[in-house]
Amino acid sequence: WVDINQLVTQVLKLAGAELRHRAKVELDLRPVPLLKLEANRLTQVLLNLIINAYQAFGERAQSENMLWAGSARDGNTVRLYVADNGPGIPKETQERIWEPFYTTKPVGVGTGLGLAICYDIVQGIGGDIAVESTVGRGTRFTVSFPLKTATRPGLEWQESGQS
């Protein structure tokens, strides 16, 4: 069982040394149920989204950069998000970001596999990943996991504190 909020906190600590010098980070972790999934795979997704965010800041001053991460339960869905106030992703590029080897980064920075891998991992564990972005304002990636109900397939879950 995975405590999503604890995982987000751990991933931010893992990325912390680099992130501290690149952006101010704000967390908005709401109560969510524990999910039965592989923590390592979700860690890879979150770390990748965070790395993409701070790479997008480019050479801007640290004081200008913001990264937000959070979680919430919305009915029978648990959502995680990573958002930034970077340059944003143009609409025509948003359609291609999930393609393997597609990148807008300079040569030598990244492989163009990060978001394709994130997409495959999230889909493989029963979730969905989406992007919202506005050029000049920033980007938000949302990872959603449906909770298993009697009428709909999804992930097994339990309320925090249950065993």
Check residues 41 and 162 and name the one with the higher pLDDT.
Answer: 41
SS3 content of the chain, % helix, strand, coil (to 5): 35, 30, 40
> What is the arrangement of strands in the sheet containing 24-29, beginning at the earlier edge strand?
24-29, 66-74, 77-84, 138-146, 128-134
pLDDT band at 21 (very low <50, low <70, confident <90, very high): confident
Average pLDDT, the chain: 87
Q: Which of 110, 14, 124, 148 is nearest to 69 (CA)?
A: 14
pLDDT value at 162 more than 50: no
Domains of the chain: residue spans and CATH: 4-154 (3.30.565.10)
pLDDT band at 163 (very low <50, low <70, confident <90, very high): very low
Residue 100 has what pLDDT?
A: 85
* Confidence (pTM): 0.87
